[in-house]
Amino acid sequence: MRKHEPLRPIRGLGLLLLLSASTLPLAACLYKFSGGGLPSSIRTVAVLPFDNLTPEPVLTQEITQAVREAVERRLGLRQAGEDQADALVTGTVRRYEPDLPVAYTGNPADNRTEVTKRMVQITLDVKIMDQKENKVLWQKLSLTVQGEYNPNEELKGRRIALEKLITDIVDGAQSQW
């Protein structure tokens, strides 16, 4: 009686799967998205000071500076004067809530509650405009970003919120199809 060798077809299938799987990363490296991001004509930008409708005056400078650095470093655009820039970034800070309670602990014995975690919340309108085409490239109204912090560390929460703002703006600018 002759013995069957059922493993050979499986070995061949395994080899085929291995070769297919090993070429997948190479194919992924060669693939390039097209159509996303800012138009190729946008090389320079002017980030205008954000209007501030809140009682916190330092927000204008902090937000404007963070956006300037982000469009330069993360989008690869050069700063230019408003008249010479290919694109303009404008915005309005609508709301600033620096002290929202997020987490509590309580002691039923003395009926006291203590806030253990707080949150900064910033709401803004942001727009990126192509000056030459007079066309809005990206706009977000009522964009709300948040940053949690421990009590007495509001600046840390604000930095976290600003980082989220920058990520949202950069992702929005890069996602244009």
User: Are 115 and 137 contacting, i.e. CB atoms less than 8 angstroms apart?
Assistant: no
Cα–Cα distances (Å) from 65 to 11, 50, 62, 69, 162, in that order, read: 60, 10, 5, 6, 10
Residue with tokens 């253990």: 116
Which tens digit of pLDDT belongs to each residue from 95-150?
Answer: 999 999 999 898 888 888 899 999 999 999 999 999 999 999 999 999 999 999 99
User: Are 68 and 167 contacting, i.e. CB atoms less than 8 angstroms apart?
Assistant: no
Q: What is the pLDDT of residue 6?
A: 54
For residues 36 and 174, give the distance between their C-alpha atoms in angstroms, rounded to a whole number: 6
- In the predicted structure, residue 12 carries a pLDDT above the cut 60: no
Q: Of 31-35, 99-103, 124-128, 171-175, which range is least confident?
A: 31-35
CB environment 131-141: b (16+ within 10 A), e (fewer): beeeeebbeee
pTM: 0.74
For residues 120 and 102, give the distance between their C-alpha atoms in angstroms, rounded to a whole number: 10
Ordered structural domains, the chain, with CATH? 38-174 (3.40.50.10610)
Radius of gyration over alpha carbons of the chain, in Å? 26
Q: What is the pLDDT of residue 168?
A: 95
Determine the average pLDDT of the residues in 47-59. Answer: 96
- In the predicted structure, residue 165 carries a pLDDT above the cut 60: yes
Q: Of 61-70, 76-85, 168-177, which range is least confident?
A: 168-177
For residues 20 and 55, give the distance between their C-alpha atoms in angstroms, rounded to a whole number: 60
For residues 8 and 92, give the distance between their C-alpha atoms in angstroms, rounded to a whole number: 68
Q: How confident is the model at residue 5 (pLDDT cuts 50, 70, 90)?
A: low
